[in-house]
Amino acid sequence: MSDLDLNSLLGTEDDEGRSRRRTRGSGKRGGGSRRRRRRRNRGRFVAPLLAFVVLAGIIGGGGYYGYLWLSDALVPDDYTGQGTGEVIVEIKDGQSASEVAEELARLGVVASARAFSNAIGNAGKSGSLQPGQYKMRKKMSAAGAVAMLSPENKLLAKVAVKEGLRLSDTLSTLAKATGKPAKGFAAAAKDTGDLDLPSYAKGKLEGYAFPATYDFPPNVTPAQILGAMVKRFNQTAEEVDLVGGAKALGRKPQDIVVIASIIQAEAGRFEDMPKISRVIYNRLQHEPEMKLAMDSTVMYALNKYRTAATIAETKTKSPYNTYMYLGLPPGPIANPGQHAIEAALNPAKGDWLYFVATDPNSNVTKFATTEAERQALLAEYKRNGG
């Protein structure tokens, strides 16, 4: 191939060829050449622009989907709503917010530890978590969990009120457990107008401060605490149909509470309660030949705590002395639990008139119908160290 042919293929020209075309090109022919050059220039500009637009579209689309992926990766799992059920969460002294987040996730309160960490960080409360117990719910939003861990929702240590405590001992227990002044509880127990006592309580709290385990927030008042205990009594009374059951037995509702308090004070075991209940009803039916004669009522009158009254003590002049006066005492002698209330409503079938706790160590109680049987049980009681 000649140099001329090669130049033609490569589109190259020597200076002389360019000069000849410039010399020959004139008029319209020269204008056409310029238009061709402009079209070629526009082609050189449009092609890169199209390429840029296409590339930008690709990058933009990929960026959008990348953003979606990244957003999904960065937003942690979280529940919605206030959750359900109940769970007690304890924050220990020195625990960090991240450690609390892990514990909440483990207990199923929040969907993920990271959701809680983000929520408490956004609320600016990472350093304000206080040690203590909190009542929370499962499957609640992280923001909701942060709100429930505020100091006003913190629970006190559980307050356990034992069955059969007298009101005075109940008030002492509450004061010690809550750290609130005992005089505040004493005043609230006297001013019972706002406690929602049942009408048959006749304004007296003894017997109606229901024994149970309670959780109270730190800002609760003594009156609110006693009100919660009365509310629990009312709920229990409704569950066991105390009013209807009393009517079926030919008794007043207050009688049932008084009988239940005596059962609670006299029984050593739950399984003996229905039989003790039957003894009480049988003795009441044998009046006036027989009195109720319960040592627990005498001890209440004397503010003592022994299980057996002396002969001298049985001569105490008090309406609570059932050795001296017929019928039931004028009010409950303790705060009975649900088992005792149910036993008062459902006495066992039998003709027993006596019972003796024959073994003080095991709290076993035995029952008798005649005085001779009772004396035999008393002898067994003495042999066992009673």
Domains annotated for the chain, with CATH where assigned, are: 3-74 (no CATH), 84-155 (3.30.1490.480), 159-232 (no CATH), 242-352 (no CATH)
Q: What is the mean pLDDT of residues 77-89?
A: 93
18 vs 324, higher pLDDT: 324
pLDDT per residue as tens digits for the range 187-198: 999 999 999 999
Q: What is the pLDDT of residue 32?
A: 54
State yes or no: pLDDT of 62 exceeds 60: no
Quickly state the pLDDT bin for 153 (edges 50, 70, 90). confident
Mean pLDDT, the chain, rounded, equals 86
Tell if the pTM clears 0.75, that is, is over it.
Answer: no
State yes or no: pLDDT of 179 exceeds 90: no
Please report, for residues 47, 285, 332, 341, the alpha-carbon distance to residue 201 in angstroms, rounded to integers and kept in the order given. 97, 24, 9, 15
State yes or no: pLDDT of 75 exceeds 90: no
State yes or no: pLDDT of 185 exceeds 90: yes
1 vs 312, higher pLDDT: 312
Q: What is the pLDDT of residue 130?
A: 87
Which DSSP category does 208 fall into? T
Q: What is the pLDDT of residue 54?
A: 47
153 vs 141, higher pLDDT: 141
**% of the chain exceeding 90 in pLDDT:** 69
Q: What would the two tokens of residue 144 be?
A: 């909701």
Q: What is the pLDDT of residue 107?
A: 96
215 vs 31, higher pLDDT: 215
Burial 87-125 (b: 16+ CB within 10 A, else e): eebebeeeeebeebbbbbbeeebbbbbbbbbbbbeeeee
**% of the chain exceeding 70 in pLDDT:** 81
Range scoring the smallest mean pLDDT among 15-24, 271-280, 306-315, 353-362: 15-24
State yes or no: pLDDT of 64 exceeds 80: no
Q: What is the mean pLDDT of residues 58-76?
A: 58
How buried is 142 (Cβ within 10 angstroms: 0-12 exposed, 13-18 middle, 19+ buried)? buried
For residue 328, how many other CB atoms are within 10 A of its CB? 23
Q: What is the mean pLDDT of residues 46-69?
A: 53
